[in-house]
Structure 1
Amino acid sequence: MSDIQFSFVFPIPSKTVYTTDKLEKMFFSVLNQNTPPQHIFLLDGSPDNLLGDRLFHLAETKNIFCEIVPAQSQFLSAFAFTLSKIQTKHFIFTDNEKSPVYFNKSASDLYRWVCLRNPQTGLFYSDYDRISPDGSRVEVHLLPFHKSRVRDNMDFGNVFVIDTAMAREVGGFSSIFPRGYLYDFRLKIATDHDFLLISNRFQGVPYSVEDLGKAHNVFDYLLSGKDVQLEMEQIITDHLKRIQAYLPPGNCRHEITYSPEEEKQFEECIASVIIPVNNRPQFIGTAIESVLQQTVEQVEVIVVINGGEDDPTIDVVKTYQRGGEKFNPDLAPVRLLVHDINNIGLCLNSGLKTARGKFYVQLDSDDRLKPDAVEKLLQVFKSDPHIGMVIGSYEVWQLEEDGKFFRREDIPVVTHDEWTEENGRNNLLRINGAGAPRSAHIKVLAEMGWFSVNDIPYSRNYGEDYEMVLKISERYRIGRVWQPIYEVVRHSGGTDHSIDRQTIDRNDNAKDEMRREAILRRQTLNSKKIS
């Protein structure tokens, strides 16, 4: 063990959200390691290096060699210089820009053992504790790495133990990506090297992070700037090219054709709106009525209930059928299917098998279509026979417990404009969604093998639509409606309301498995093209 030493790379941010006292506390946690670091590099972004000088003198009192690297305006250049100076096989990098990070005294001892046992690993990361504002601690258990975890929001924690030679091999932190340098760096390392997660059972974390008190928000990505999104897109695009999973523009674009006999079948019904639902009698009526108000008359509503014969939603749906008080023979027919297995893929596929329309239109039971939604979707389909799916844009509405219902003005119209004609299907592997509503040729859905039915690892009524978009985009164009044609309704009973960490991890696992399969498919497509 005597030959395993570490250099600590300790950034001093130019602007921090915490006090100088906390910065010193962080630095003391480095100095007070049971096995002191061989070398500390202070990447000092503070004005006039005042904080760097202060910490430098603290290191002197411990007889630990410390070097100040000015980083006021060029952090990435300072890191590149530091990487060239590191003499240890591994270095420890602390991402402390937004949150204080405190090491336990035995952290370096633990890191030495994992490096000794895993000499070929490029990067180590670990579970950690989150310190809440009230001082309590919450254990944060991270997901183990695999090479298909290519999304940009993957949580690797705030401390990384990195093989120095491998970091130099990939060029360190790229100055081309001032905001996404860590994302780019980990994808480059992951191309040829493994990562390793150090797990915690109980009180087994090497460091803690002070919580900023921000809850999980499924719309966080909307608030990041366009320049950040473009930077992240370039990073994933470069990575997919490295691993031969990139699909160039126009590649694998097939035409969708129908015989005259098939087209005649769709004269009375062109679109089937399928609504899977479980125990939501309070919402289903509004969803159905949003379909009945469509400007296109040749539509049908298929409600697929998966709560069994006792589901109270059934009674509400029947009021819109023949003999019901809300039935109107001049409006779209409302059909009803009932299952006693809560499986969204089963609902969708059952509805599709009985659908009379040419196109499937998605509608969640607590959401609403705008009156011209189907009309706008059909216009895009008619514009190009190579379009297999059309995805719209949506507004976010809020339903409060007291019945107040209002548009969320703090959330812009969700257009997913990170999707471009040239690169959308590649960029989709980086993010967790493509937009709503989704509409597709029913024959294309059949060609893709229908929606998954919780038969993908970790998938529990989640991600079946994401997988379908991935598949269709590999063979057909994806059309877009950029105007809002859908209303997502957030409420206390929604599946995206107050999501706990366990659910977030399970959902991320599911979509990462879908990414794994998508990357393999795309690599196969490219190998066939080469051969």
Structure 2
Amino acid sequence: MPFLAEGVQSILDQTLADWELLIGDDCSTDGTSDFIATLPTDPRIRYFRNTPALGLIGNKNMLIAQARGEFVTQQDADDRCARDRLERQVAVFDADPDCGIVGCGLKLIDRDGRCIGLRSPASDLLIEPGAQSAYEFWFAPMMVRRSLFCQVGMLNSWFDGSFGEDFYWALLASEHAKVRVISDPLYDYRQHQGSVTTSVAKPSNLVMTRILEILAAQRRATGSDDLAEKRFETLVALERDFATDRRYIGEMLRVQAARAIDHGELATSRTLLARSLRLHPLNLLAWRTVAYYIRRRTDA
């Protein structure tokens, strides 16, 4: 909870005043309820303490169901956003009534709030419904029309314990709604030291990344996918096959390392490359990525 106060303050400081802040406390023991008690009385702030715990996806779905506004967005407890984030995203909706999702760029920040990387498109984007795009659907910075949840459904609990429920939901929603993306980084996504190597690059999450790619390809080809059709045994088999494929996991770690180098995250890339080479030491691409790391390290 050390960053919750900063995150809440970034909402209180918004230039757009017409918002409601829903805080979901999933049976935490970190003093969240004590912090909530210190907040000024404000009818726009609504606090929910789950008993029993609902889990990450259940907590998100509960908050979405409780939302009363026309638009819904998320802000993780460790994160913060620019003062004009809500105003600028709502303005895009107002200018384009057919738009269903408005994303924005984001900054990666460390524990001290220093920028350590950017995840932003080069310019503002327009993605028509069903169009293929290289845009990474980072869920937290996205604002969506609440009506889309009625059309698409809530976040899928099949992803509980892993990750990807947000990407899968955005994949479904983008088939029905126009997406616009503000290139400016209006959201600060906090990465704790080692969080990339312990979370994004966990073997289970690398496996889920591949499964999400397969689900997306299935939807492009057929309009549906194994998860939508509840073919859970097929998905479990895929998880098992990818999890035991040392070459695949090694290559995916290399890809994550290359991305970290691209964004100047050299310490993270070094750890990922070491793990990659232990699993797949004969991967020529991994050794080329090592050379890339050395060049960037020398230039730095």
Alignment TM-score > 0.5, same fold:
yes
Distance 2:45 2:138 in 1: 29
The structural deviation recorded for 1:420 is 4.4
Tell me the equivalent position of 2:36: 318
Q: 1:425: Cα distance to partner?
A: 5.3
| Equivalent residue for 1:448, pick from 139, 146, 152 | 152
Mapped to 2, the partners of 1:379 and 1:503 lie a distance apart of 39
Q: Does 1:505 align with 2:206?
A: yes
Per-residue deviation, residues 195-218 of structure 1 (Å, max 9, x unmatched): xxxxxxxxxxxxxxxxxxxxxxxx
Name whichever structure is richer in helix by fraction: 2
Structure 2: distance between partners of 1:342 and 1:477: 31
2:120 to 399, 411, 415: 415
Compared CA separation, residues 422 and 334, structure 1 to 2 (3 A): closer
> What is the aligned partner in structure 1 of residue 12 from structure 2?
292
Aligned positions of 1:1-20 closer than 5 A: none
Does the 8 Å contact 2:25/2:47 carry over to 1? no
Residues in 2 aligned to 1:378 and 1:352: alpha-carbon distance in whole angstroms: 18
1:478 equivalent to 2:179? Answer: yes
Length, aligned pairs only? 224
SS of 2:172's equivalent? helix
Distance 1:435 1:351 in 2: 15
Paired residue secondary structure (1:505):
helix
Once the two structures are superposed, residues 356-384 of structure 1 have per-residue CA deviations (whole angstroms, 9 ceiling, x without a partner) of 21110111111111111110110011111
Distance 2:205 2:3 in 1: 25
Residue 142 of structure 2 is aligned to residue 438 of structure 1: yes
Match of 2:215 among 514, 523, 526: 514
SS of match in other structure, 2:126: coil
Partner of 2:264: none
Between the two structures, name the one with larger relative contact order (CA 8 Å, sep ≥ 6): 2
Q: Counterparts of 1:350 and 1:433 in 2: how far apart (Å)?
A: 22
Distance in 2 between residues matched to 1:492 and 1:512, nearest whole Å: 28
Compared CA separation, residues 416 and 452, structure 1 to 2 (3 A) = farther
Identify which of 17, 21, 24 aligns with 1:304.
Answer: 24
Partner amino acid for 1:518?
R
CA distance in 1, matches of 2:49, 2:214: 30
Distance of 1:504 and 1:523 partners within structure 2? 22
- Residue type of the alignment partner of 2:8: I
* CA distance, structure 1, for counterparts of residue 66 and residue 127 of structure 2: 35
Identity %: 17
Whether 1:397 aligns to 2:102 is: no
Match for 1:364: what amino acid?
D
Aligned residue runs from structure 1 range 221-236, under 5 A:
none
Check whether the contact 1:305–1:313 (CA below 8 A) recurs between aligned residues.
no
Which structure 2 segments of 5+ residues have no match?
A: 226-300
Aligned alpha-carbon RMSD (Å): 2.9
Tell me, in whole angstroms, the C-alpha distance in 2 between the residues paired with 1:507 and 1:432: 15
Shift of 1:444: 0.9
Contact 2:99/2:179 (CA < 8 Å) preserved in 1? yes
1:473 Cα shift?
1.3
State the 1:518 CA deviation.
Answer: 2.6
Q: What does the per-residue CA deviation read over 1:9-67, in whole Å, with 9 as the maximum and x for residues that have no partner?
A: xxxxxxxxxxxxxxxxxxxxxxxxxxxxxxxxxxxxxxxxxxxxxxxxxxxxxxxxxxx
Shift of 1:426: 4.2
Amino acid at match of 2:6: T
User: For the structure 1 residues 313 and 432, does the alpha-carbon distance in structure 2 shift closer, same or farther, using more than 3 Å as the test?
Assistant: farther
CA gap of 1:446–1:497, structure 2 versus 1, over 3 A, is farther
Matches within 5 A, 1:364-375: 364-375=76-87
